[in-house]
Structures are given as C-alpha cells and as structure tokens.
C-alpha cells in the first residue's frame, strides 16, 4: 500500500536539469531550493499559492521542467534571444544570497559570488545548539574555490540551513566560518535578497521602518531619516535602512496577506523596487513585473562583519505569511507587529 505521507525532503532535477531540493510540510506548504546559488526559488503556502516572485523572463519554470510545453517555451526563448537564466548567472527572483559583498560596495562583482556558485549538500553539518523537531530542512555548503581565491583570497565555510516550519514558515540560517590558515581575518557584507510576490505594489505598505535612518542608493548613498508613516510605493525605491527592528511587516492590502520578516544577526534591511524605467532596462525582468514584486532584504551592510580564523558568524531570516485582518478598509499595523 502506498503511504499518503508526503516526503519532507526530496532531491530532484529542476529547470535545465539543475539539482534542486523540495521541502514539504504535512499541511501542504512547500519550498524549493536550487544547489545553484543555494537559491530558494519557491515558497508556497498550504493553499499552494506562491509567495515569492520569480521573473517570467528568468526563463525559469520550476514546475514544468519535464513537459513538452516547457521544452517548447525554452526553445522559443533560445531562438528569440530571450534572456533565459543560465548558470553562472543568478536567478531573477526568489531569495538570492549576497555574499561576500552586498551590491557594488567593494571590488567584487555586484552582490558577490555566492549566488552564482554551485553549492553542495552538507551531509554532516555541525549541530545547532537548539534541537528542533522540524523534518523539512536541508543543509547546504559552499567552500573556497581556486577561482574565487583569485578575487577574494580567503578560506571559508558557508553553511546554509533552509527549513520549512510546521506552519509553513520559511527559515534561512547562515553560518559562515573563517578557515584561513594564514592567521588573517576577513570582512564581508551580506543580504538575503528576498523577492516577495505582491498583488499590486501600489497597494503595499511596509511597517517597521518608520523613523529609521537609511542610505539612499538613488542619491549617492546619502543618509536620510524615514518619515513617521508606513512606507508606500509610487516610484523607484532602493534604500538601505540601518539598524532596524528585528521584525518588519509587508502588508498586501489587495491580497489581504501580510508577510512578517524576522531577522537575527542582520541589523540592516534593504528595500528595492526598480519601477518602470529600470524594469525595462533589465533583460531578465518583464517591463510590468515591478508591479508584482517587492524586495525586502535582511542584511548586514553598514557595518561589515569581520571574522578571525576559527570564528563563526550566524545570520538568520524567518518569513511567515499570515492573513491580514483589517477593519473599515484600514490595516491595523499594530496588531501585525505585535504578532496577534
Ligand atoms: O540586478 P541585481 O544585481 O540582482 O541587483 C538588484 C538590486 O539589488 C539590491 O536591492 C540593490 O540595492 C539594488 O541597487 C540592485 O539593483
């Protein structure tokens, strides 16, 4: 007799034959992680609704990879010069990992190399201090390669655990260790570059960043202070909020859904939407897709992290999606932020 219980962790082939890991939780939620970039490309709630944005122009159809239709789409794209995602390029959407450099704030390529590398499954990860009963998780690892030593001359071990919690929450924990044998410390910046899927950007509010200082990427990283109201969107935004609260809420009024982002070890938060002009300039992003995404990125940017040999840093992001409660058309941010 076949068991009806879903396999919590499945290793299989995804887009372009690339290896992926599917996490499933008994109530029906799921997540997908590619070994390319340790990139989370899908996070679905127990109704099967996708909660992350992945660009249709990324050329990335995670669920149709084996079908004739998907093959035809891929061929058509190739023939029309479509900007399909192909390693070593990063996937446009989901949760790319920016390491060891956020943005262009250093000598490396934009956002560092971790999002473009092939990670391995970590068969024997060091234990976490707290044990949990979660079954749906995977441990991935990235280590120094000869190629990366040329641009970043340090030895490191980057362990990422991706966990799907029993309620469908998605947890990412990074542990980065300096394994240099030359006695030298290293310094890095970091971000979980999360693309949330939203119904309509003009209906979205972000709570938790009011009155916080930020560096505006659109104004030479000049420092400003955010006003007292929730953040809404009517033009391009690219801001690095500094030393933010650990909990940020993204309220999607139309979907009646609120994402709650909790973070630990990551003081900053980047908020990005390219809006129409920049969207048009991006080859792997649809002209109108800016309306349906918002990046809110748990990050360590302003104060780079320095590790001495043998030292380990930990940075964690936890995402949940909850139905928004609202009365007389007004969302109640207090309730969301208090977690009630
Ligand atoms: O195009 P990418 O390299 O993936 O970067 C996409 C975006 O990432 C971050 O949010 C930065 O703050 C933006 O300045 C950048 O445009």
Parallel/antiparallel/unpaired status of strands 186-192 and 97-98: antiparallel
Q: Looking at the CA of residue 240, tell me the nearest atom of ligand 1.
A: 12
Task: Determine the average pLDDT of the residues in 263-285.
Answer: 97
Q: Is 193 a catalytic residue?
A: yes
**Helix intervals (H) in 249-298:** 275-281
Report d(CA 309, CA 282) in Å as an integer: 39
CA–chain centroid gap for 86, Å, is 19
Report d(CA 272, CA 9) in Å as an integer: 32
| Cα-to-centroid distance, 114 and ligand 1 (Å) | 15
> Do residues 103 and 220 lie in contact, with contact meaning Cβ atoms separated by under 8 Å?
no
Q: Which residue in 111, 154, 193, 253 is the catalytic one? A: 193
| Cα-to-centroid distance, 169 and ligand 1 (Å) | 25
Residue scoring higher pLDDT (326 or 32): 32
Query: pLDDT (tens digit, 9 = 90+) per residue, 228-256?
Result: 999 999 999 999 999 999 999 999 999 99
Neighbours of 96 (CB within 10 A): 26
Collect all residues with Cβ–Cβ distance below 8 Å to 77 and sequence separation of at least 6: 59, 84
- Residue nearest ligand 1's atom 7 by CA: 272
Q: What pTM does this model have? A: 0.90
- Residue nearest ligand 1's atom 4 by CA: 92
| 175 marked as binding residue | no
> Do residues 134 and 164 lie in contact, with contact meaning Cβ atoms separated by under 8 Å?
yes
Q: Which of 72, 94, 74, 70 is nearest to 82 (CA)?
A: 74
Q: Is 297 a catalytic residue?
A: yes
Q: What is the 3-state secondary structure (H, E, C) of 177-220?
A: EECCCCCCCEEEEEEECCEEECCCHHHEEEECCCCCEEEEHHHC
pLDDT band, very low/low/confident/very high, at 337 (cuts 50, 70, 90): low
Going along the chain from its start, the domains and CATH numbers come out as 9-338 (2.70.98.10)
Q: Is 276 helix (H, G, I), strand (E, B) or coil?
A: helix
Ligand 1 pocket test, pick from 58, 89, 111 with the greatest ligand atom count within 8 Å of Cβ, gives 111
Report d(CA 292, CA 15) in Å as an integer: 22
Q: How many CA atoms, within 13 angstroms, populate the side-chain half-sphere of residue 18?
A: 25
Q: Which of 13, 18, 11 is nearest to 85 (CA)?
A: 18
Query: pLDDT (tens digit, 9 = 90+) per residue, 259-268?
Result: 999 999 999 9
ipTM over 0.95: yes
Task: Determine the average pLDDT of the residues in 129-142.
Answer: 88
Dihedral Cα 301, 160, 61, 200, nearest 10 deg? -40
Q: What is the largest CA-CA distance in the chain?
A: 64
Ligand 1 pocket test, pick from 215, 217, 281, 282 with the greatest ligand atom count within 8 Å of Cβ, gives 217
Neighbours of 281 (CB within 10 A): 10
Collect all residues with Cβ–Cβ distance below 8 Å to 321 and sequence separation of at least 6: 45, 51, 168, 257, 258, 259, 260
Q: Is 22 exposed, middle or buried (0-12, 13-18, 19+ CB in 10 A)?
A: buried
Q: Is 229 helix (H, G, I), strand (E, B) or coil?
A: coil
| 74 marked as binding residue | no
Provide φ and ψ at 164, rounded to 5°.
-105, 115
Q: How far is CA 226 from CA 108, 230, 241, in A?
A: 30, 9, 9
| Cα-to-centroid distance, 103 and ligand 1 (Å) | 6
Q: Looking at the CA of residue 111, tell me the nearest atom of ligand 1.
A: 3
**Which pLDDT score is estimated for 282?**
95
Query: pLDDT (tens digit, 9 = 90+) per residue, 309-332?
Result: 999 999 999 999 999 864 334 445
Q: How many CA atoms, within 13 angstroms, populate the side-chain half-sphere of residue 133?
A: 2
pLDDT band, very low/low/confident/very high, at 15 (cuts 50, 70, 90): confident
Task: Determine the average pLDDT of the residues in 274-282.
Answer: 97
**Which pLDDT score is estimated for 6?**
74
Query: pLDDT (tens digit, 9 = 90+) per residue, 214-226?
Result: 999 999 999 999 9
Q: Which of 50, 49, 55, 138 is nearest to 90 (CA)?
A: 55
DSSP-derived letter for residue 65 is T
User: What does R_g of the chain's alpha carbons equal in angstroms?
Assistant: 20
């Amino acid at each position: 007799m076949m068991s009806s219980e879903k396999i919590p962790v499945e290793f299989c082939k995804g887009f372009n034959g690339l290896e992926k890991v599917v996490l499933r939780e008994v109530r029906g939620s799921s997540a997908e992680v590619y070994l390319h970039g340790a990139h989370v490309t899908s996070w679905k709630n127990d109704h099967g609704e996708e909660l992350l944005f992945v660009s249709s122009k990324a050329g990335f159809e995670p669920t149709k990879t084996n079908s004739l239709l998907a093959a035809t789409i891929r061929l058509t794209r190739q023939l029309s010069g479509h900007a399909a995602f192909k390693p070593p390029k990063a996937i446009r959407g989901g949760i790319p990992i920016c390491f060891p450099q956020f943005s262009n704030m250093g000598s490396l390529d934009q956002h560092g190399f971790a999002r473009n590398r092939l990670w391995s499954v970590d068969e024997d990860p060091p234990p976490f201090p707290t044990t949990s009963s979660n079954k749906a998780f995977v441990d991935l690892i990235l280590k120094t390669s000869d190629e990366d030593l040329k641009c970043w001359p340090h030895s490191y071990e980057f362990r990422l655990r991706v966990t799907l919690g029993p309620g469908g929450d998605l947890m990412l924990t990074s542990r980065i260790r300096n394994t240099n044998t030359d006695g030298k410390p290293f310094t890095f910046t970091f971000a979980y570059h999360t693309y949330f899927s939203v119904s309509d950007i003009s209906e979205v509010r972000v709570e938790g960043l009011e009155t916080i200082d930020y560096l505006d990427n659109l104004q030479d990283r000049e420092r400003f202070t955010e006003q007292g109201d929730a953040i809404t969107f009517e033009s391009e935004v690219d801001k690095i909020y500094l030393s933010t609260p650990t909990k940020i809420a993204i309220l999607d009024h139309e979907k009646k859904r609120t994402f709650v982002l909790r973070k630990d070890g990551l003081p900053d938060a980047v908020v990005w939407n390219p809006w129409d002009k920049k969207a048009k300039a991006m080859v792997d992003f649809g002209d109108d897709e800016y309306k349906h995404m918002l990046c809110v990125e748990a990050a360590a940017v302003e104060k780079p992290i320095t590790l001495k040999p043998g030292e380990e840093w930990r940075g964690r992001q936890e995402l949940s999606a909850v139905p928004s409660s609202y009365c007389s058309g007004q969302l109640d941010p207090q309730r969301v932020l208090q977690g009630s």
